[in-house]
Amino acid sequence: MGTAERKAREKQIRHQQILDAAYEVFNQVGFFAATMDQIAERAELAKGTIYIYFKSKEEVYFSLLLNGQDILINMLTDMKKQEPPPDQLLRETAKTLFRFYSEHTSYFRIFMVMQHEDMQAKLSPELSQQLNEQATTILNLLSNQIQRAVDAGSFNSVSPWHVANILWGSFTGITQLAITREQLRVGTMDIDDLLSLCFDMIQRGLSARPSGDKTKTKGQGSGVRGQESGPNSRTTTRTGNRKSGG
């Protein structure tokens, strides 16, 4: 390994070291109470070193979101490779999303900070583009699976892109509700059961009718395989800048 490659690798390791420390600090004290001093202490680095890699605490935060979405992309990609049967598709999708939530719940707590308007104002165009590109990848992974079920005749001819947005919105809505209830100390929710019930209801609505049933559903026949924006666009959450339809 040459000198340039070694330095690049060391920089990447240090970058991840800071993000890992920030993840722990944000999870422990919350984003707004956290300081760069605490992140530096947890990472066992000088505070000045943190600023070499990140301009602000907000930039650290948005970079953590990129990490979280990368994890989910990998999990959905693995599910796609397994090619679950069309009639089990949404059940397996619900299991994958629940596993992501249960193994990485802190990312959801961190994500909820994004709903504050002052945070969105601090999102740089570069990070906004990266977040939206990842979000589009997530929705396309879901959309492509729905299209596979439509092509197999298991689902009605609906817009896979619209269904992907419905699945994503249902997932984030249920998980954010659970976290909010936990924070307010009003009781916990069984996320696994709720996701399974929700996705099962969606699957029943999508399931192809017998050939003799001519009833059409709203939006039927408008199959769309992919779009140019994702969960971070203005049509689904308040994060990021919408480029085109979604």
Question: What are 39-58's pLDDT values in tens digits?
Answer: 999 999 999 999 999 999 99
1 band by pLDDT with thresholds 50, 70 and 90 = low
Residue-wise pLDDT tens digits, 22-43 = 999 998 998 889 999 999 999 9
Q: How long is the chain?
A: 246
Percent of residues, the chain, with pLDDT higher than 70:
84
Predicted confidence (pLDDT) at residue 70 exceeds the cutoff of 80:
yes
191 pLDDT more than 90: no
| Average pLDDT over all residues of the chain | 83
The amino acid present at 82, given as its one-letter code, is Q
Tracing tokens 């570069």 back to the chain, one arrives at 126
In this structure, what token pair is assigned to residue 169?
A: 């919105």
Which pLDDT value is given to residue 13?
92
> Using one digit for the tens of pLDDT, what is the confidence trace for 122-133?
888 898 899 999
- Give the residue ranges of DSSP H helices in the chain: 3-29, 36-43, 47-53, 57-82, 89-103, 105-111, 117-121, 125-151, 160-184, 191-206
Integer Cα distance of 181 and 133 in angstroms: 31
Please report the pLDDT score of residue 243 as a whole number: 41
Domain locations in the chain as residue ranges: 1-54, 57-246
- According to the model, what pLDDT value does residue 6 have? 83
Any residues with CB less than 8 A from the CB of 91 and at least 6 apart, and which?
Answer: 84, 196, 199, 200, 203
Nearest residue to 208 via CA among 157, 144, 148, 147: 157
Pick the CATH number of 1-54 from 3.30.160.270, 3.30.2130.30, 1.10.10.60, 1.10.3720.10: 1.10.10.60
Task: Indicate the range of 9-18, 75-84, 92-101, 179-188 predicted with least confidence.
Answer: 179-188
Q: How confident is the model at residue 220 (pLDDT cuts 50, 70, 90)?
A: very low
pLDDT for 117: 63
| Angle of CA points 73, 78, 80, to nearest 5° | 95
- What is the percent of the chain where pLDDT is above 90? 55
- Sequence letter at residue 62: F
| pLDDT score at 43 | 95
Topology of domain 57-246, CATH: Tetracycline Repressor; domain 2 (1.10.357)
Q: What does the pLDDT read at residue 98?
A: 92
Please spell the DSSP secondary structure of 132-144, one letter per residue.
HHHHHHHHHHHHH
